[in-house]
Amino acid sequence: MTAAVLYGREDVRIERVPVPAVGPGQVLVRIGAALTCGTDLKVWRRGYHARMIVPPAVFGHEFAGTVAAVGPGVEGFRPGMRVVAANSAPCGECFYCRRGAETICEDLLFLNGAYAEYIVVPERIVRKNLLEVPPHLPLHHAAFVEPLACVVRGLDETGISPGDTVAIVGAGPVGLMFILLTRWLGARVIAVGRRLNRLQAAARMGADHVVDDATPEDTVATVRALTEGGRGADRVIECVGLPEVWEQALALVRKGGTVQLFGGCPADTFVRLSTHLIHYGEITIKSAFHHTPGHIRRALELIAGGVINPDALIVGREPLACLPAVLERMASRNGLLKTVIVP
């Protein structure tokens, strides 16, 4: 089969590799659509991911496809069935899983290999996070389940109520999904971002106000001026993943508000936070990472129910052979959203 193999930093090669064998409890999926992702771009830039991929290896993690074969002991799945798989599954038995904290499972099993013709879904993910795609749903829509599940969990952890004013910082694919769902929940949205096409996309997604973050000092004043009495937003969701933007997010929230630091920053980075603001302003700070099996199912329901239209977040389709060029374009920071990669 054809696959994109990561060898190291910014070194991905389209090669012919064997179709993976199917073992007990496993399912072989013929990939119908994979999606580009900011996480995959980071992996490509760094040449590895400490927890998810050690090169040389096929990479990519957002996909949907059709069951090609099932291993011994598999129940509920058959060849020809259209499916979507999450990129991980918790063990259900460790210290954290027993306390309901599945996202920080001590044995969280990750799955990579979406940029290929076929992928084997491990037994644990088959049991916990492999779902049938409804007949009416295109496969490239179903592939949005994994990133949307992360957003759904982020919203759960933030605690948004109808009528809240929510500042969403970052207008990439994740930020735009936050805008869509926050508006669906009945909140008022102030979108903060850069690059004209992304700001325009935020407006199309329903943001009540769009603020260009060209000058961070002006951004804080502008956002606060759009809130009641200039107090600041009730909730702030940071979707950029830079220490300076984490610090900015704290300056946008009102007293008694909640800041969701959703974007993952580079390792070994730190932030400076005002102890006075946090303590005397009674600010709640949260940081949601990843998703759970429950959120995977809710994400599929939202997409199947039409709450999210993935086509609004897609800029084009490309064959697998063009993946290196797509990654180069993403790295040039030209504002690309998501591209569907078709094996």
Q: How many CB atoms lie within 10 A of CB 106?
A: 12
Per-position b or e across 64-87, b if 16+ CB within 10 A of its CB: bbbbbbbbeebeebeeebbbbbbb
Query: pLDDT tens for residues 83-138?
Result: 999 999 999 999 999 999 999 999 999 999 999 999 999 999 999 999 999 999 99
Instruction: Reply yes or no on whether the pLDDT at 216 is more than 80.
Output: no
DSSP state, 336? -
Residue 47 pLDDT grade (very low, low, confident, very high; cuts 50, 70, 90): confident
Task: Determine the average pLDDT of the residues in 313-325.
Answer: 95
Domain ranges for the chain, please list them: 2-144+308-342, 151-286
More confident residue, 330 or 142: 142
Instruction: Reply yes or no on whether the pLDDT at 45 is more than 90.
Output: no
pLDDT, position 267: 86
CATH architecture, range 151-286: 3-Layer(aba) Sandwich (3.40)
Kindly report the CATH number that applies to the domain delimited by 2-144+308-342: 3.90.180.10
Both structure tokens of 32: 């119908």
- Give me the torsion for CA of 178, 288, 242, 335, rounded to 10°: -30
Q: What percent of the chain has pLDDT over 90?
A: 90
Instruction: Compute and round to an integer the Cα radius of gyration of the chain.
Output: 20
159 dihedral zone (left: phi>0; alpha: psi -120 to 50; beta): left
pLDDT, position 219: 95
Rounded Cα–Cα distance for residues 194 and 192 (Å): 7
The residues near 282 (Cβ < 8 Å, ≥ 6 apart) are 255, 256
Query: pLDDT tens for residues 147-191?
Result: 999 999 999 999 999 999 999 999 999 999 999 999 999 999 999
CB 268 within 8 A of CB 160: no
Both structure tokens of 149: 């599940």
Cα angle 156-162-164, degrees, rounded to a multiple of 5: 85
Residue 250 pLDDT grade (very low, low, confident, very high; cuts 50, 70, 90): very high
pLDDT, position 72: 98
What's the whole-number average pLDDT of the chain? 95
